[in-house]
Structure 1
């Protein structure tokens, strides 16, 4: 190194001393000083640990969104119950009366209302999942937390709404002549496995919805088709009496059909085990495991992408 002195002479200085970091690549320097990429995706185990640490945030966020959802409506949270009830009334008129799907179904009102409430739980969870990331970019960009917290919170919100609605469902079932017995307790594991399934699917839809801006407009058509193949308004056994075996099997193992059938079996005496598909509980657990684990891993793999771009 050189510099000019006051008399115009050039003074030559000693070269800078070499350090121990000379020759190290950026990645080696980062490893040496414990630096990491901001927002980098942690390992799956560490990610799960972080997510468990945010469990209180998830619960409170779900409660706050539930309380705020209907603040602009005059009837407020009564719409949580009125929406599936109004749907049930419409479907009873169209399918039960005009089309006649109530024929051959004992206690069709309880049969239909149970199907509507259980279907609405899955439908609402999936639609909430579609916008779980894309609809909360401000929060995601402002704070650092496991992004899976968002779809989990939204499906938990739907579960909380369903639990509040169950009082109305039980009242309707009682008014149709059903009496409580031990089988009603089966509703608890049925809804728990359904919630795990819903959460897994919601996480898949959250990742897709974060990139596909038109998915929210497409999903109502897909969900409507799914509903019509899930035995919500009719008995699959009655409909498939003369159908090929493969059609009946595909309809029976439809995950929403499985959870609806388990709820009906729990609450309605005339809905017997003979109307359930073979190994129904294994099917329910299988769908919950596949969707829950698969959806969680699928969402985690894109953790670094959420809120960017």
Structure 2
């Protein structure tokens, strides 16, 4: 078990800091293994287009399912990570990165009001945008990513302006998503360390003693502090996290219950059924029917 699996890193792009636009020439295959990539952030707006496969994104403590045709939107300096759900059919995405300063300058110029510009730039835009929920945003952001392939004249200025206009329109389009799976923060640094680790490693079968080693506490100390912060011990928290991720997959995919059970870390489907019923008051199949 890596003690550094919860470290948050700045991930610089292989380009000059002064270069206003960076684009991955080749599609990216999101990894699928227990050796998850670290939580990281960029200093740019990151827009991705899922080309194939299925994946899971964690951004600002919110888990989101992504599939073909979905758009990924990550603002600058936001912690995130991503992975494929199926190693045999990895999630393939194409990403473009836009210089934050240039885009935000355009927003300020168009708004002509620092307060209005600040409100716009702080809009909570969901990390995954789907055609079924917002076809207009998906079409616009997809065009931005695809335009980077064309190499048109003045492509940087054009895409920056279109992104700025999207951010301005987003203020009236997006509201906070009350159904999003969010990891609520706690002031206890030791508990936060374990929560960050579990958010990346929920599939693993770590014991409470192994989790306690991450923050240099005894098993009883970690249990006591976890219960104080969340009302449940760390293993129960991990099972709740697994079930919440499973609920996202039940709503958004056609995967069978047994497949979802395995993908969130349960070796025995009956254990998954018991844990899910305890968390949601119904079986996974009933939950899927109700939603």
TM over 0.5: no
TM-score bracket, normalised by the shorter chain, equals: under 0.3
> Normalization by structure 1: what TM-score?
0.23
> Normalization by structure 2: what TM-score?
0.24
The structure richer in helix per residue is 1
Higher relative contact order at CA 8 Å, sep ≥6: structure 1 or structure 2? 1
